Amino acid sequence: MTKDNKIEFLFKTPLDHFDLDVALDIPARGVTALFGPSGCGKTTILRCISGLHQAPIGRVVVDGEIWQAEGYFRPTHTRAIGYVFQEASLFPHLSVRKNLLYGQDSRSPVSTQAFDHIVDLLGLGRFLDRSPRNLSGGERQRVAIGRALFSSPKLLLMDEPLSALDKPAKEEIMPFIERLHENLQLPIIYVSHDINEIEHIADYLVLMNEGKIVASGALANIQSDPNLPLAAYHDSAVSLEGSLVDYDAHFGIAKFEVHGAFLNVPSSAIEIGVKRRLKVYASNVSLSLENIKSSTIENLIPVCIIGMKETNPFQVTVVLGLGRQGDGAHILARITRRSWETLSLSINTSLYAQIKAVSLVRNQR
């Protein structure tokens, strides 16, 4: 973690079709995701932070250390970063063990305990003596992540590490990336244009378009802002952090406490107190002015309307605060314009949200 608990960067540099012009302070903890369409400048930001690209106007401060400022530019090899690219790019003539240790900082050799810890987190124990040629795409990328971690970084940069993998390989490697998030006190900047990846691991989200930052903030805050692009997506959703308070083994229902409400989620057995990330799709939320108890829907909770925006002339995206006063976590509902007008809904209306389904996403620290 940085001394001032943040990572600061500012870059102005020309790109092919527009100029990159960004300035931001991000948390020096957890995962910060850069999200936006291909070619919007996400990778260039990573290259500027690492020193692989020198922006004509730039500033980078990490852990209280200045890596770039007016008249000063620290070379890439002296910046304490781990960099994971889209392709693993392992040495085919070296074993997995030697590929991993190739990245270690010679000034601070990796201890046996630290080596075993990272190998365990990434599930690489049975591959150590193999050649990279005998690994799957997902396994090779796990080795590449391990190699980056053994360089003793203060900051881990991950540039679309799953984009070169097919769907089964992505599903194979994602749990290991989640484990890194849960077990390592290392800030990560993660680039992706896949919102599903972002929802799994991001704590802080930076939206980008054509070299500019559109918005930045905590993941759920960006997801639930009706004025930002994510809320208008067909499959828009909000990620909530929940803690398990009860489990019904007979029916396989887990009861989670989130800020402002309790949510029931179908699940296999989980220990009480365990934290999970939950996802609520806007399309799975309907609204009622009455407390309808005779329903197959598991979650009927009091909410308050705190925002709305027309998705199109016939549809409305509604922002709901959980709890009668709406002072809990925010979720979205997608309803018709006719329903909005027929029920005479407006900002500050108290009513009930019927949540048809809640998805478990991943563990939390």
Q: What is the pLDDT of residue 108?
A: 67
Q: What is the pLDDT of residue 365?
A: 41
**Backbone φ/ψ region at 39: left (φ over 0), alpha (ψ -120 to 50), beta:** left
Query: Which residues sit opposite 84 in a β-bridge?
Result: 158
- Give the predicted TM-score (pTM) of the model: 0.90
Residue-range domain boundaries for the chain: 6-223, 237-363
Q: What is the pLDDT of residue 305?
A: 98
> Cα(114)–Cα(122) distance, rounded to whole angstroms?
12
Domain 237-363 class in CATH: mainly beta
DSSP letters spanning 104-117: S-TTSPPPHHHHHH
**What's the N-to-C CA distance of the chain in angstroms?**
16
- Amino acid identity of 179? R
Helical H segments across 268-311, by residue range: none
C-beta of residue 31 within 8 angstroms of C-beta of residue 219 = no
If you search the block for the tokens 């009513």, which residue do you land on?
351
Quick check: helix, strand or coil at residue 4? coil
**Where do the DSSP E strands lie in 229-344?**
237-248, 253-258, 261-266, 275-281, 285-288, 299-312, 315-322, 330-336
* pLDDT tens sequence for the chain (365 residues): 334 689 999 999 998 889 999 999 999 989 999 999 989 999 999 999 999 999 999 999 998 899 999 999 999 999 999 999 988 889 999 999 999 988 776 666 777 888 899 999 999 999 999 999 999 989 999 999 999 998 889 999 999 999 888 888 888 888 888 888 888 889 999 999 889 889 888 999 999 999 999 999 999 999 999 999 999 888 999 999 999 999 999 999 999 999 999 999 999 888 999 999 999 999 999 999 998 877 889 899 999 999 999 988 999 999 999 999 999 999 999 999 999 999 999 999 999 999 998 887 765 44
Domain 6-223 class in CATH: alpha beta
Q: What is the pLDDT of residue 16?
A: 86
State the DSSP H helix or E strand holding residue 65, giving kind and residue range, or none if neither.
Answer: strand 65-69
Whether 237-363 and 6-223 are alike in CATH topology: the answer is no
How many alpha carbons lie under 13 Å from residue 16 in its C-beta half-sphere?
5
